[in-house]
């Protein structure tokens, strides 16, 4: 006995075979462009803060931390493109790329979230205790906190 054919399912499957490679290429190009622009922006931030002493404030130490975390997380974006693409690699390389992508993504996320949390704490102390802010928050303590974040990362 013949089964009824779903015309929409056939149309969807045929369209998917055509659209999927185009969307994958577009997605990979967007991810590569995103990585390049993020690298340029964070690199300029690091350069500007390290070059001009007027920008080397306590708050900008956290900004340096966030920019450095993003720059070190850029390989995750590139690895994601290789993982998403249909590359002719053996399973060992695909597993290694997947593992490296996961590690970089988790570590970069942890570093960024920790930095944002420290910025929030520093701003809270500045608003709640404006007269004691200079006693509580010093460049040495901030650098120590950022160093601890990097060690835990």
Q: Give me the pLDDT at residue 11, please.
A: 46
- Number of Cβ within 10 Å of residue 61's Cβ equals 19
Cα(143)–Cα(29) distance, integer angstroms = 37
pLDDT-derived band at 13 (thresholds 50, 70, 90) equals: low
Domains in the chain: how many in total? Answer: 1
CA distances from 66 to 5, 16, 70, 72, 110 (A): 55, 40, 6, 10, 11
Dist. CA 111–CA 108, nearest whole Å: 5
- 64's tokens: 């340096």
Is 40 inside any structural domain?
yes
- In terms of DSSP H, where are the helices of 52-138? 58-84, 91-128, 133-136
Q: Which domain holds residue 143?
A: 7-152
Q: Give residue for tokens 């390290």.
A: 50
Q: Across all residues in the chain, what is the average pLDDT?
A: 80
Residue 59 lies in a domain: yes
In a domain, residue 98? The reply is yes
| 93 has pLDDT over 80 | no
In a domain, 2, yes or no: no
Which CATH number fits the domain that encloses residue 48?
Answer: 1.20.1070.10
Question: Is the per-residue pLDDT at 96 higher than 70?
Answer: yes
pTM for the model stands at 0.71
**Does residue 113 form part of some domain?**
yes
pLDDT of residue 102: 77
Confidence of residue 21 (pLDDT cuts 50, 70, 90): low
User: Directed axis angle between helix 58-84 and helix 139-152, to 10°?
Assistant: 20
**Structure confidence at residue 20 (pLDDT):** 65
The verdict on residue 126 lying in a domain is yes
Give the separation between CA 84 and CA 92, rounded to whole angstroms.
Answer: 15
Q: How many H-runs (helices) and E-runs (strands) does the chain carry?
A: 5, 0
pLDDT at residue 83, rounded to an integer: 60
Q: Is residue 8 exposed (0-12), middle (13-18) or buried (19+ Cβ within 10 Å)?
A: exposed
Q: Is the pLDDT of residue 45 over 90?
A: yes
pLDDT band of residue 86 (cuts 50, 70, 90) is: low
Overall average pLDDT of the 121-138 stretch: 92
């Amino acid at each position: 006995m013949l089964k009824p054919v779903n015309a929409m399912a056939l149309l969807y499957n045929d369209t998917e075979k055509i659209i999927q490679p185009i969307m994958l290429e577009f997605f990979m190009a967007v991810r590569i462009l995103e990585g390049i622009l993020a690298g340029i922006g964070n690199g300029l931030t690091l350069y500007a803060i390290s070059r001009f002493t007027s920008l080397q404030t306590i708050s900008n130490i956290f900004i340096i931390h966030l920019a450095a975390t993003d720059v070190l997380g850029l390989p995750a974006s590139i690895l994601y493109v290789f993982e998403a693409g249909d590359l002719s690699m053996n399973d060992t390389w695909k597993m290694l790329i997947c593992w490296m992508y996961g590690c970089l993504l988790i570590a970069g996320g942890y570093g960024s979230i920790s930095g944002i949390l420290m910025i929030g704490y520093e701003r809270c102390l500045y608003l709640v205790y404006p007269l004691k802010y200079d006693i509580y928050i010093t460049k040495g303590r901030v650098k120590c906190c950022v160093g601890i974040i990097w060690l835990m990362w």
